[in-house]
Structure 1
Amino acid sequence: MKTHLKKAALISATSLTAAAALVSTNAYAQTGPAEASEPSGEIIVTGSRIARRNVESAAPVAVVDSEEFALSGAVNVESVINTLPQVIPGTTSFSNNPGGGVATLNLRGLGSARTMVLVNGRRWMFYDTQQIVDLNTIPSFLIESVDVVTGGASAVYGSDALAGVVNFRLKDVQGLEMGAQYGVTSRGDGQRLTANFAFGGEFADGRGHATVYGEYYDRKDVFAGARKFSEDVNWDDYEGNIIPGGSATTPQGRFTSVLPTSSDDPTAQLCPTGNIFCSPGAFYETPGSSRPRTASDLYNYGPVNYLMVPQERYLMGGYADYEFSDGHTAYAEVSYVNNRVANELAATPVTGTFNIDVATASQFISAADAAAMNQLDTDGDGLVRMSVTRRTTEVGARNSLDERNAFRVLLGARGEITSNINYDAYYMFARTRNSNIQTGNVSRSAFQAGLDGTGTDINIYGPGTLTQDMVDAISITAQNTEISTLQVASGVISGSLFNTGMSRDDVGFAIGAEYRRVSSEFIPDTALSSGDVIGFNAGNPTAGAYDVKELFAELRVPLVTDTPGVYRLELTGAARYSDYSLGAVGGVWAYAGGIEYAPIPDVTLRGQYQRAVRAPNVEELFGGLAQGFPGATDPCSSRQPADNRTDVVRDLCIATGVPSSAVFTAAVQPNSQIQGLFGGNPNLQEETSDSWTAGVVVTPTFFPGFTATLDWYKIEVDGAIGDYGGGLSNTLNLCYNVFQDINNEYCQAILGTRNANGIMDGENVPSILAANTGGLKVQGLDFELSYITSLGGGLISEDARISFNFLGNYTIDNIYIPVASNPEEQYQCAGAFGNLACGTPTPKWKWTSRLSFIDGPLTTSLRWRHVGAVTDDDDTTDYAVERLGAYDQFDLTFSADVTENFSLTAGVNNLFDKQPPTMGDNQQQTNTWPGVYDVLGRDFFISGRMTF
């Protein structure tokens, strides 16, 4: 088995508690407004639909209490969730390129599409054709707790739950609550302001309760140029050094004849010797006057990119329930979010092959250059064909503004059928509409017309040469729309059946049915869909929908309690049959079985097996072709390490379209990003996963206040849906460095995608469509230690307490298999990162711990966050930074109950101003991996909350 090992693994950690109210165990759960306690005092634990008296479950459930959001100064949900041990950061507020203006959740590093997000135990609204939830739409100030169930949960909740489920429980409000918070970095930027309110109470003589809420949030941008580590673009020189880099597409412009400089064909028309436009081409350092382009002629695009993207959000909604008849309650939930987030990149880099009218160009360039250009006119028509790269800084930065309007409405009823059997049924409709406005784009057709004399003449021969009239002639604004809807109709009957005679609890059951319909469409304007836009990625329309009808059942069997050697023994089982309208999926089963055994009250052993499924989403099935520019290394360029520049690779490069004289030179793929076309595949089949968990919970009676848990997990996903070949970078690697056969399917995917100079550019690029790849495997250990005890008298009160919590994860395996037909070719991403296969750093060790001192109304809390070391995932490339060391960050918070109705919290995150690790070509963006490592530096916040 060929395994690319890189010393890596998955870990995560979170801080749960800071006071007595924060103590939790991995099986702790609270009830929210839509999951109210049963009359008997039973509760619903996330991961099951069966009410129970205790909070234990066969599946490990990690819980984040509401106080963690307050103590960490978190306004957006992502700020706390990304510190959980089970989570690898997805898209965050520091995601600019790639970006999208959202915050996503990625359990176990298995991908956001494999993580189900619930609010009050029910599906939440998603934001795009990938059917992923934007955490920005969840009101963090109303969160009572967050339950995280890892491992497949499709048997209970349906598709999308291969990695697990995260359930946000919102609290019922009594009276009026008002809060505000302000945050700013130690550099005086990145200001964040939020204000929120919620009021609620009983009505109709206590038969009903309602909560209404609203929030405004404003986050200012931070540019990469505002931080030392990101003010320049880093490159590798492949001699072990990081050097200043940038884009080969500069404001000065580069013009290179497409005529070859050498050829094996004696009849070929060669570029004239000594002509300035022959490779490496003419570079216009000053307007109209050229010199030969050199490798150091680069544009530093780094400082004008966002480091933290701006956001403005309005959020409002409410939920209520009313007992309209004895034992029967109607309930409703309504929410609306208006969310505006922008991404900003450096000015548009125009690249491609264009026809240039010599007479038009002559008015802007020197006589010598005009003569050299005329020499290239081999057919005498006055036109020459050239490869042009020009950064249009005169047009301004590229800005993409996403404004999402999302709403969700839910109506339901629950109640008693008999004294021990209940029902719960609801209908939910959610719709998200995203309006995307792109500025800073350039029209390819207008640009071409400005060069060949058929439109407004444009002067691109030097920096700052485009006049306002020229800018107006080539600029184009793109407006695009995305609409996504989700409908759910669900009903369940649950309760108790009988008692085995040996247990204090009855056998519990749940049986139900569910119907879901999902639909999404992406509607680009004609400029974007036609490919005429240069700047942001062009894409074709996407539209699709499907529905699914499901039947599900659960059974909980308490076998024995309170007997010698068996304090509690319990079995659980669940199954779900899903019938999809998708022909390639059809009918599928998900099922689960678990056991809990407590020999004594102090110790509980638990284990579970689950088979889960995930049907492909609309984007994966019906996504139209769209441009993408992923980070990738072309094995035929000078970026290929010397050890891999073999004769076999050379011959493959020539066979796939690279001129023999250009192989392994800087002329091939000068940029660190390579363009490709990406899209959906209607023939995709469902993913399946098998997950196993086993653990122990220890709550020693002789050591009050202490809890320890240890859980092992293993998840294997077969037929994982992803980009063909594992993405463009890995497809290139598979062709040139692994299979090394021109007839192999991965080399065939590259064949015909290079231009005359061997470059994959705007007219010749690979198509990388969605496919059922080999699979994913993760395995690791979750562990938690928590302790709270009274210290007696403190500085303020007579009953001071100390609270400690440590939550961490050790990842044994995080394996990616890109090719289903070749499972031996796999990547070990535990303890790894990189652009080849693993992506976001997935450390073996990750934890968060919190130590709090509670002295009456005053709480002092210190949090320690640790991200373990990771190593680059690409064995074929020697990067200047192959290893990112362990990263530790400390946060300090003070909280005080000033009066009975007013509390004040102030804190500093990243207390010691820890800087992120930086690297060259194997970065994600801004010379690091933002979201994993702190990029703002020391950050202050202060918040206040009043209740009436």
Structure 2
Amino acid sequence: MPYNNVFESNRLTVTPDSWPGFKAPTIGATALLAAMALMAPQFSYAQDAADQSTPSSSLEQIVVTGSRIGRVDGFEAPTPVTVMGEAELRSFASPNIADSINSMPVFAGSMTPGSSVANVSGGHAGMNVLNLRSLGRSRTLVLLDGQRIVASNIDGSVDVNNIPQDLVSRVEVVTGGASAVYGSDAVGGVVNFILDTTFTGLKGRVTGGMTGKRDNENVSASLTGGTSFASGRGHIVANVSGRDSKAVRVNRRDWNLEGWQFMYNPNYTPTNGQPERLMLNQVSTSDGIRGGIITNTPLRGTAFGPGGAPYQFRYGDLVSDPDMRGGDWYKTQVRGTEDGLSLAPDITDVSVFAHATYQLTDNIEVFAQASHGRSETYNYGYTLECNSCLTISADNPFIPASVQTQMQTLGLTEFEMGTQHQDLGSASTDAERAVSRYVVGAKGDFELFGTDWNWDVSYQKGIAKLDVVADNSMLMANFNRAVDAVRHPVTGEIVCRSSIADPGNGCVAYNPMGIGVNSQATLDYIRGAGLRQYKNEEIKQDAASATIAGEPFSIWAGPVSIAAGLAYRKDTSGGSNDPISDTRGWYTGGYGTTRASIDVTEGFIETVVPLARNVSWADQLEFNGAVRLADYSTSGSLTTWKAGLVYKPVDALTFRATRSRDARAPNIAELYSIGGGGLSSATNPFTGLPLILIPAPRTGNPNLTPELADGLGLGLVLQPSFLPGFSLSVDYWSVKLKDSIATLVLQEILDRCYQGSQQYCTAITFAPGSLDITEVARSPFNYVVERARGIDFEASYRTSLGAGNLSTRLLVARYIERSTDDGITPRNLVGQGTGSDPQRLRWNFKVSYALDPVSVGFTARGVSSSVYDNRFIECTMACPPSTSAHRTVSTNKINGQIVFDTSLGYDLDAGGAKMNLFLDVRNILDEDPPVVANGPGADGYFYSPANYALHDYMGRVFQAGVRIDF
């Protein structure tokens, strides 16, 4: 239903063109209704955000869904709101809207298809999952037109890929706690995608792109149409789009070929003043090379190449198994090969979307929405590394004759070896994900006791299906039989030892010594003998809501606005998987299927109370508050609330403050997961012996309780009259999260049990009558207190320049604290650059100029330098003794990065159609990512020395195309 939004003296007037007799609500009701729009679809008077590249008056015609009052670009909202308009979204050189959003400094640690290329076990391949303030992806609530979206994974992750990107008119980011307004998961904030469901006409888009290295080629196309029907009482809009993006399987970037990695200093002692860990180049593995290498006995260094031919491996000048520096490092280097970490997966997706409204009466409108998206992703993962973990008996017939002779001479009965199992290939995932969503509802208005009220009801059904197969994963029972090869005592053939006693077991002997030495039958047997590791998972969401809002009475400063409503939501997971995953029998993957459900019933009330208006000491003083009561089937009742003040002493200056109690209820994965993940290694603290490749599944904990968070926001907004078009906001925020849900790594679970914490001992399975450990369940617990603090800056300036329009915008996120306290080791994570932790400073500056028919944009994005770990001690001499809490390292610095982007556009008429030709270039200077070294030990040698979640790593990227509006 069409509306015209007009700001008049900082008051918002809403004029519905097609509702005869409708009385426009005052500012209080409008503000409250705008906030309530995030609770239910279509209950929004918000129009499309204006193109941010133009400083016309239309820029001020914005009502942000989720704010309490009408405002311009989030500067007048009591809770900070950042808006990214259509022009800014599409100017980023990427076919995916998530890349544009993640360029905003308030996002840190989001999951992207690139950052999850090594994710084989989690089922996240190809997903884009947003993370506000690095508080966690599960604490960022993603909405579509104010309504929840069904998750694409049982951990609650919402895949942004499923949003109809060519219909997005703007994205609104509400930072800070918002659980009282929007419900669970909004601890970090809310990201609301606003669609242009009133579009009329026909428009299309065709784009293509690649990197400056001529890889990661992608093409995409979209067609959108909208029209009215039934003499204007109805309207329908539909969109169909598709994309194909090619993988970058082999990362041949120069920065990936230099062998940067940490390794243990072989010369370190606690008293010689040397650092325990060295960060060096030309580092690779010493005891797990491609074709295999003997790692003990006098035969140490005997390696096996193509065809199984033995040769003497040349160790480097520094050796600390499983790593070394120098020597034959480049021969063992897997980075830059098909066995190393790739840069991007193969992705193909297609989606359809339709939205229809129909005006039943002058005061009642019904609507329906349907969407379906399907994506196919192939993720190239990692080698099946085995660092000195195989024991080969002297009677193994695959041992080359020359090596057999040496063993006989030396009297050796066995040796240990390590290998990357080159013949078995890399563990990878082939995933197909489909998400369907259906929404129906109605909205309207009525008059009661002389005041205007609005109502809204809706129901949505969401269904997400994931079909995933793990390619090249080893079935460990088959592998263990196949690697134990002997000669048959009768036939003399090479067979599995187990096949002598059980000739019909189907085992085919495996040769770990060499490259290209195994038959396809052998590989097929180890990979499952016809059984593929798979999971068919289905996640369903049923959600219903009803809201009502109005102005029941007025007080001295104006009308009091109230909104209230009820909501119900049920999330269900189910499906099927291969029979082996449940027994933890695969090397990686472990696709167990969880069958469970969670439901919640909620009631909420919100209010906006004007306390002063147009008095000597205040232009405006307004209170806004919200309370939500929720009853979860898993954790019982829960109350969240929010209280805020907006104070404008003068028209140009606004102060805002909010205090909130937020919460996040545990999701299905945290509560009920039956386990996923492959095999891991650690040390048994009870025996001191290594645990080699034991099952360590991620299982749920049904005893979890909701996380509780206390949030505070203090800010000011400056919009001076002497500088029209300029706005500045500065906001301090803090969050304290109690009873935070987290999962310990394998070694920590073992160590805490050994130290006497019984709750962790329940996760460990011991062999009967011994201290040998056979399995460790990595379950989450409510055991962490988390704190986060920071300051956000936003400034924008729009003005006419010559015959064109100039627009500038600066966004800065300054992180002060991001700490965790697990009751044993308090840690501050701000400024650590190896994972998803926030950097101390992230910023984004954009300037654009439009002079019809040409538009030009320039963006600078920056992230400050960081460290590997805030607890590390950097030193090269006179180092103190290294401890588990304070490692001594040769370097602890990770450089910052500044990246420049540009966009060019040209408008022209083509036979009555409006055409826009564009070229967007990301990272125009082709800056390499800073070195972020992995290791030491284990599998660090196949990871790229870069942080895909933090830095720009693809290099220069081009995206070009045409948009046509008929």
Is structure 2 residue 150 aligned with structure 1 residue 125?
Answer: yes
Q: Does structure 1 retain, via aligned residues, the 8 Å contact 2:258–2:281?
A: no
Distance (whole Å) between structure 1 residues aligned to residue 247 and residue 551 of structure 2: 54
Which residue does the alignment assign to 2:571? 518
In 2: Cα distance, 1:83 partner to 1:352 partner: 42
Secondary structure of the 1:80 match is helix
Residue 655 of structure 2 aligns to a residue whose secondary structure is strand
Change (3 A) 1:205 1:247: farther
Counterpart CA distance in 1 for 2:887 and 2:762 is: 22
> What is the Cα deviation at residue 196 of structure 1?
0.2
Shift of 1:228: 1.4
The aligned residue for residue 307 of structure 1 is 343
Residue 282 of structure 2: SS of its match in structure 1? strand
The 5 A counterparts of 1:457-472 are: 457-472=509-524
Spell out, residue by residue over 1:356-387, the C-alpha distance to the aligned partner (whole angstroms, 9 max, x if none): 7765536765573696599777xxxxxx8x86
Larger mean CA deviation between 226-235 and 839-848 belongs to: 226-235
Q: Which runs of 5+ in 2 are unaligned?
A: 1-30, 48-59, 264-276, 316-320, 485-495, 500-506, 873-885
TM-score by length of 1: 0.81
Distance 1:369 1:59 in 2: 77
3-state secondary structure, aligned to 1:542: coil
CA deviation vs aligned residue, 1:810-837 (integer Å, no higher than 9, x gap) = 11111122x2x44xx3111122234xxx
8 Å CA contact retained: 1:427, 1:489 = yes
Matched, 1:887 2:897: yes
Separation in structure 2 between the aligned mates of residue 877 and residue 75 of structure 1, nearest angstrom? 42
| Distance across 1 between alignment mates of 2:582 and 2:893 | 41
- Secondary structure (helix, strand or coil) at the match of 2:169 reads strand
- State the partner residue of 1:855: 851
Instruction: State the AA in 2 paired with 1:870.
Output: S
Aligned to 2:713: 693
Query: What amino acid does structure 1 have at the position aligned with 2:955?
Result: G
- Which 5+ residue runs of structure 1 have no aligned equivalent? 1-26, 258-273, 378-383, 637-652, 660-667, 793-798
AA aligned to 1:831 is G
Structure 1 distance, partners of 2:247, 2:667, is 32
State the partner residue of 2:502. none
**SS of corresponding position for 1:489:** strand
Query: Secondary structure at the residue paired with 2:129?
Result: coil
Instruction: Confirm or deny that 1:427 pairs with 2:456.
Output: no
Whether the aligned pair in 1 keeps the contact of 2:398 and 2:511 (CA below 8 Å) is no
Give the % identical residues.
25
Q: Is the 8 A contact 1:233 1:301 kept in 2?
A: no
Match of 1:614 in 2: 664
Q: Structure 1 pair 577/595, CA: closer, same or farther in 2 (3 Å)? A: same
Q: What residue in structure 1 maps to residue 255 of structure 2?
A: 229
Contact 1:225 1:232 in 2 (8 A): no
Residue 496 (structure 1) aligned to one of 548, 551, 566: 551
Q: Is 1:581 aligned with 2:633?
A: yes
Cα–Cα, structure 1 residues 240 and 123, in superposed 2: closer, same or farther, change >3 Å?
A: closer
Match among 431, 435, 438 for residue 406 of structure 1: 435
TM-score, length of structure 2 as denominator length: 0.80
> Are 2:868 and 1:868 aligned?
no
Find the counterpart in structure 2 of residue 704 from structure 1: 724
Q: Is the 8 A contact 1:46 1:61 kept in 2?
A: no
Q: Determine whether 1:46 maps to 2:50.
A: no
| Contact preservation (8 Å) 2:109, 2:838 | no
Match of 2:164 in 1: 139
**Change in 2 beyond 3 A, CA 1:202/1:526:** same
Distance 2:657 2:914 in 1: 45
CA positional deviation for 1:722: 1.0
Work out which of the residue numbers 78, 89, 93 in structure 1 matches 2:109: 89
Q: 1:284 & 1:890 partners in 2: Cα distance?
A: 47
Residue 637 of structure 2 aligns to which amino acid in structure 1?
A: G
CA contact (8 A) 1:47 1:59 kept: no
Is 1:250 matched up with 2:289?
yes
- The verdict on how the C-alpha distance between 1:913 and 1:43 changes in structure 2, with shifts beyond 3 A counting, is closer
Which secondary structure does the structure 2 equivalent of 1:78 belong to? Answer: helix
Q: Where do residues 901-940 of structure 1 align in structure 2 (5 Å cutoff)?
A: 901-921=914-934, 925-940=943-958
- Deviation of residue 43 (structure 1)? 8.3
* 1:85, distance to aligned residue in structure 2 (A): 2.1
Match of 1:339 among 367, 375, 386: 375
Match of 1:391 in 2: 420
Q: Judge conservation of contact 1:520–1:544 (CA < 8 Å) in 2.
A: yes
Tell me by how many angstroms 1:244 deviates: 2.2
Deviation at 1:508, TM superposition (A): 0.8
Residue aligned with 2:429, SS:
strand
The aligned counterpart of 1:542 is 594
Q: CA deviation at 1:511?
A: 0.8
- Whether the 8 Å CA contact 1:336–1:406 is kept in 2: the answer is yes
Find out whether 1:486 has 2:537 as its counterpart: no
What secondary structure, in the 3-state scheme, does the structure 2 residue paired with 1:129 have?
coil
Residues 462-507 of structure 1: per-residue CA shift (max 9 Å, x gap): 232112332233233322122111110110111111221333xx21
Q: By how many angstroms is 1:132 displaced? A: 1.3
1:372-771 matches, cutoff 5 A: 389-418=418-447, 420-450=452-482, 451=484, 452-453=496-497, 454=499, 455-476=507-528, 477-503=532-558, 506-521=559-574, 523-534=576-587, 536-582=588-634, 585-627=635-677, 656-658=686-688, 676-724=696-744, 727-728=745-746, 742-743=755-756, 766-771=776-781
1:438 and 1:180 map into 2 onto residues whose CA distance is: 33
Q: Deviations over 1:376-422 (max 9, x none)?
A: 77xxxxxx8x8664433223333211100110000010011325111
Equivalent of residue 178 in structure 2, options 146, 153, 175: 153
User: Which residue identity is paired with 1:514?
Assistant: A
> One-letter code of the match for 2:829?
C
Report if the CA contact (8 A) 1:232-1:245 is conserved. Answer: no
Which AA in structure 1 matches 2:688? V
The answer as to 2:820 corresponding to 1:816 is: yes
Q: Distance in 2 between the 1:848 and 1:42 partners? A: 24
What are the within-5 Å matches in structure 2 for residues 104-123 of structure 1? 104-123=129-148
Moved more, 927-936 or 453-462: 453-462
Query: Structure 1 counterpart of 2:452, which letter?
Result: N
The question of 1:199 aligning with 2:199 is answered no
Output the aligned Cα RMSD. Answer: 3.4
1:915 deviation in Å? Answer: 0.4
Summarize the Cα distance change of 1:217–1:539 in structure 2 as closer, same or farther, 3 Å threshold. closer
Counterpart CA distance in 2 for 1:289 and 1:334 is 62
Using a 3 Å threshold, how does the CA distance of structure 1 residues 778 and 123 change in structure 2: closer, same or farther? same
In 2, are the aligned partners of 1:129 and 1:521 still within 8 Å (CA)? no
**Aligned equivalents of 1:687, 1:783: Cα separation in 2:** 28
Task: Work out the CA distance in 1 between the residues paired with 2:930 and 2:776.
Answer: 32
Amino acid in the other structure paired with 1:47: G
Q: Which amino acid aligns with 1:531?
A: R
Secondary structure at the counterpart of residue 859 of structure 2: strand
CA drift at 1:255? 6.1
Whole-angstrom CA distance in 1 between matches of 2:260 and 2:776: 26
Given the superposition, is the C-alpha separation of residues 74 and 143 from structure 1 closer, same or farther in structure 2, using an over 3 Å criterion?
farther
Distance across 1 between alignment mates of 2:725 and 2:233: 37
Q: Which moved more, 1:690-699 or 1:109-118?
A: 690-699
Question: Partners in 1 of 2:955 and 2:66 — Cα distance?
Answer: 38
Alignment-derived partner of residue 827 in structure 1: 827
Give the secondary-structure state (helix, strand or coil) at the position aligned to 1:937: coil
1:251/1:464 contact within 8 Å kept:
no
CA positional deviation for 1:125? 2.0
**What is the SS of the residue equivalent to 2:514?**
coil
Question: Displacement, 1:84?
Answer: 1.3
Contact kept, 8 Å, 2:46 with 2:65, in 1: the verdict is no
Q: What does residue 325 of structure 1 align with?
A: 361
| Structure 2 CA distance for partners of 1:351 and 1:937, relative to 1, 3 Å | closer
Structure 1 residues 183 and 42: CA distance shift in structure 2, 3 A: closer
Equivalent residue number for residue 173 of structure 1? 199
Structure 1 residue 111: Cα displacement: 0.4
Q: What is aligned with 1:12? A: none
